[in-house]
Amino acid sequence: MSADLRIEHVQVRYGGFTALHDLTLHVPANTTLGLVGESGSGKSTLARAVAGLIVPAEGRMTLGGRALDKRRSREQRKQIQMIFQNPDASLNPRHSVRGILSEALLFHKMTRGRAQTEQRCRELLEQVRLPADSLDKYPHEFSGGQRQRIAIARALSVEPELLIADEPTSALDVSVQRDVLELFLEIRERLKLTVLFISHDLGVIHAVSDTVAVMRQGELVEFAPKERFFVRPETEYGRELLAAVPKMPIAAGSAERNLTF
């Protein structure tokens, strides 16, 4: 299940500093928006505003047509889940994997009774391709890539409609990044999620996005279907970003070519 995300004229301030200026964008249901832009451009700020972790000074946001207000209902908190760069942000080190997964399930009343909760925990582990005996282990017993899988399983446990991934692979070893990304793509396909995916890596953005949004200094400078952005960016800044990438896969399949303009 998924719902569309609409952001209209959103402004976020940190004290006197305006981190997001009048931002408007739409993410259709069951599509992925890839969000890029230099450090400090406001990507995480946007993610946090959508997730309800910070409150915009101005503007309006809706998910599936329903307003996302300052105070989120339990239902709304369930609908939007986040995956962070550092999986430890969402994994309590004192809880076993069973504890981590079942906490969210029980809080949102996703399962009834121990047997059902256990069954669902096992399903979730299978979904992220971790062995069933992981349930009794603690976060420190896993590698970084495995911990990110647990964080993904936790986010999926409550069947969200919108998933926000803020640089979910950038803290991982390069060899592991690809596996986690592939898993992510597979899950998204299966669950039909609407996704806001933040990354510095244009190769990753190319792999995951339907639409690309480029931010700079708290403003949206480019917003285009992926195919158009990667072939014909509309702004000088978009061209600069792409020119900084020497080579990347451009089409589905294995063909690679240089991007030149």
Interacting residues toward ligand ATP by CB under 6 A: 14, 17, 19, 37, 39-45
Nearer to Mg ion, 31 or 44 (CB): 44
Q: Which residues fall within 8 angstroms of residue 68, CB to CB, at 6 or more apart?
A: 50, 52, 61, 62, 76, 80
Q: Is the dihedral of CA 158, 161, 164, 165 positive or negative?
A: positive
Name which of ligand ATP, Mg ion, none residue 41 binds, using a CB cut-off of 5 to 8 Å depending on partner kind. Answer: ligand ATP
Lateral strand order in the sheet of 162-166: 80-83, 162-166, 194-198, 32-37, 211-216, 219-225
Distance of closest approach, residue 39 Cβ to Mg ion, in angstroms:
7
Shortest spacing between CB 38 and Mg ion, in angstroms:
10
User: What does the block give as tokens for 220?
Assistant: 């949206």
Select the binding partner of residue 42 from ligand ATP, Mg ion, none (C-beta < 5 to 8 A, by kind).
Answer: ligand ATP
Q: Select the binding partner of residue 188 from ligand ATP, Mg ion, none (C-beta < 5 to 8 A, by kind).
A: none
* CA distances for 88 relative to 66, 80, 137, angstroms: 31, 19, 15
- 127 is a contact residue toward Mg ion (CB under 5 A): no
User: In the complex with ligand ATP, which residue's Cβ is closer, 45 or 127?
Assistant: 45
Q: Is 169 in the site for Mg ion (CB under 5 A)?
A: no
41 binds Mg ion (CB under 5 A): no
* Token digits of residue 7: 């952001």
Rounded to 5°, angle at Cα 33 from 130 and 232 = 125
The answer to whether 11 touches 20, Cβ cutoff 8 Å, is yes
Q: Which is nearer to Mg ion, 47 or 105 (CB)?
A: 47
Smallest separation, CB 208 to ligand ATP (Å)? 17
Instruction: Select from ligand ATP, Mg ion, none the partner in contact with residue 260, using the beta carbon and a kind-dependent cut-off of 5 to 8 Å.
Output: none
CB of 64 vs Mg ion, minimal distance in Å: 26
Q: Which member of 44, 79, 81, 194 binds Mg ion (CB under 5 A)?
A: 44
CB of 170 to ligand ATP, least distance (A): 9
Q: What's the min distance (Å) between Cβ of 43 and Mg ion?
A: 5
Closer Cβ to Mg ion, 36 or 153, answer by number:
36
Nearer to ligand ATP, 31 or 41 (CB): 41
Residues 6+ apart with CB under 8 A from 65: 3, 4
The residues that touch Mg ion, with contacts defined as CB under 5 A, are: 43-44
